[in-house]
Amino acid sequence: METTAEAVPAADQEQTATPSPATRSTLSLDKEKFSSHNASLEDLNVDAAGGAALAVSTQGAEPEQPVERHDKVNKNTLLIVLSLCVCVFLSALDQTIITTAIPVIAGEFHSPSAYTWIGSSYMLASASFLPSWGKFSDIWGRKPVLLAAAVLFMIGSVLCAAANGIVLMLVGRVLQGLGAGGQLGLVNVTISDIVTVRQRGLYLSYVGMTWAAASAVGPVLGGVFTGMAKWGWRFCFIINIPVGFVAILGLIFFLHLESSTISLWDGLKRVDWLGTSCIVTGVILFLLALEFGGISHPWNSPIVLCFLIFGIALLIFFVFVEYRIATLPVMPLRLFNHRTNVSSYLVGFCHGFVFIAGCYFLPLYFQAARGDTPLMSGVYVLPYVISLSLMSGLTGFLISKTGQYQYLVWGGAVVQAIGVGLVVMLDRKSSWAEVIIFQLIMGTGSGPLFQAPLIAIHSTINPKDVATATSTFAFLRTLGTALAISLGLTLFQNGMSKQAGQELVEKVGEEAMQRITGMSASASVEWVKKLPDVQRFGAQDAYAKGMKGMWWFFLGIALVAVVCSVGIGKHHLSQKLTSAQPVKDRKKVKEEKEGVAV
């Protein structure tokens, strides 16, 4: 049952050491709302006199308790947000910078499957471990865990840049994915700790704009680097090292949060290892089944069926573990007790599908169906990502000024679906007006869906659940992007395979038909460009036709997002900062530094 706006913002009630009757009433409502296991009335108690994080027991209590403050945004906050945005920039850049370089990498490594695995291994690692990062930050603190994720990402970048074969490349991509998942999840969590719910729309829009900007720059940079030399694609990973170093320095010097001090061993004892292992293994097996099915193995092959069955079984068991067994669950099921939350999570999941489809498959369309270079394919995607970026920023501004988010979600979902429906119509001969306008519409709809659904979730949850709720949202969105790449490529390969036959042979020749309709369809994009005009045009028409089924699938996902958005209700956005790990005041930071110096 939907909770009224007045009953939600417990953080807006004045809190003292001895709660007033009105406060007790509000706390009572919150207790009923979060009555699932691990939520109790005491979880909402705060120390208004001290304004610091409460001491926590090492025996089963949540690592941090919410603390109410009235801090205003200052210069240090902006520097923190800037450092966090650099982390997001790296993670988002790495998703798209390789889209224009993958055909070249696949050709250099002589690996037809490289087109699939270079992208999917990154997304698979990012999605499977993402829920755990939020709980780790609850236990050991946001800053050390975020720094660990950033370092892990940089190690993966070094391995990818130095890769001399597909195996080392994939190892590096997995490490990058692990680090990127931590960065993407914890950036939003940290911003939620340092600004109010009302302000989060604005600051999370900066994150969304950064993500979109990186997505815009990524394909262009990838094209520039790829065109520099045969080995130029390595700069797609080298660029992460200096930029990542700047991000780490920013976090070290500017990010100072109140958090419990706990040893590594005591923290390890608090981790929900059973739940973590279930969701990580389950997601990996499930995604591997989708990777193999219909591409390297038939859908009814033993390996695909085993991965699919055991993956789904582990995910079901994960739900049971979180509900009945885990003391400190990595994904508390109380997060799904509210209709607005469930609807927002589903919208975020669907948005992950559609957003990455534009960033990942539009460059493929330009290279395969129109014969453009990797560089120009990145340039031609700019209308999509620029419109997306601008709408993300405008959405955050409107939320912070008006406190309204639900109409932005509704409108964004509808416009996004219209845009995807128009993209289905693209072929080799589509005019540039169609290409640009269709992308602008799709980006305009996708932009508001970056932060608005997350703000809706924050408006209904207990402040101490911000980390797990935000990580869960990031997990579902990242899972959507991973599934989009896997399923999208599967549908594309199937669409190409269905065209094999005498009719295509007459247009492109026997050799070309074998290459573009087999496992090497994606890896043959550059080879097709060398064919005579008649054969090349026939192959490009086949590529455009092969992508139709994939775009219809993404249209279906976009329509699901429209339906789910209807369930998002209107709730009050608090203008008081209630944080589990608030920013330390400057005096305390200075005293701590002087103490270390002594």
The CATH code of domain 75-271+338-498+547-571 reads 1.20.1250.20
pLDDT at 420: 95
pLDDT at 364: 87
pLDDT bin (cut points 50, 70, 90) of residue 123 is: confident
Report, as an integer, the average pLDDT of 541-551: 89
pLDDT bin (cut points 50, 70, 90) of residue 233 is: confident
pLDDT at 46: 35
pLDDT bin (cut points 50, 70, 90) of residue 10 is: very low
Q: What's phi and psi for 145, nearest 5 deg?
A: -70, -40
Instruction: Report the C-alpha gap between 462 and 33 in whole angstroms.
Output: 9
87 close to 247: Cβ distance less than 8 angstroms: yes
Instruction: Report the C-alpha gap between 463 and 468 in whole angstroms.
Output: 10
* Cα–Cα separations (whole angstroms), residue 509 to 368, 372, 428, 498: 17, 22, 19, 16
pLDDT at 113: 67
Beta bridge partners of 69: 577
Would you kindly state where each structural domain of the chain is located, as residue ranges? Answer: 75-271+338-498+547-571, 272-327
159 close to 171: Cβ distance less than 8 angstroms: yes
Of 44-58, 223-237, 374-388, 454-468, the range with the lowest mean pLDDT is 44-58
Of 8-22, 145-159, 200-214, 413-427, the range with the lowest mean pLDDT is 8-22
Alpha-carbon Rg for the chain in angstroms: 24
Instruction: Report the C-alpha gap between 203 and 201 in whole angstroms.
Output: 6
Beta bridge partners of 297: 293
b/e per residue 161-195 (b: at least 16 CB within 10 A): bebeebeebbebbbbbbbbbbbbbbbbbbbbbbbb
| 136 has pLDDT over 70 | yes
243 close to 428: Cβ distance less than 8 angstroms: no
* Cα–Cα separations (whole angstroms), residue 105 to 155, 515, 531: 20, 17, 21
Q: Where are the beta strands (DSSP E) in 299-404?
A: none
pLDDT bin (cut points 50, 70, 90) of residue 18 is: very low
| Residues 6 or more apart whose Cβ sits within 8 Å of residue 528 | 368, 371, 512, 515, 516, 536, 539, 540, 543
pLDDT bin (cut points 50, 70, 90) of residue 43 is: very low
Choose from 64-73, 218-227, 452-461, 507-516 the range with maximum mean pLDDT: 452-461
Q: What's the pTM?
A: 0.77
Instruction: Report the C-alpha gap between 549 and 555 in whole angstroms.
Output: 10
* Of residues 402, 108, 320, 71, the one with CA closest to residue 232: 108
Query: pLDDT averaged over the chain?
Result: 79
Q: Where are the beta strands (DSSP E) in 377-504?
A: none
Of 36-50, 282-296, 468-482, the range with the lowest mean pLDDT is 36-50
| 529 has pLDDT over 60 | yes
b/e per residue 41-54 (b: at least 16 CB within 10 A): eebbebeeeeeebe
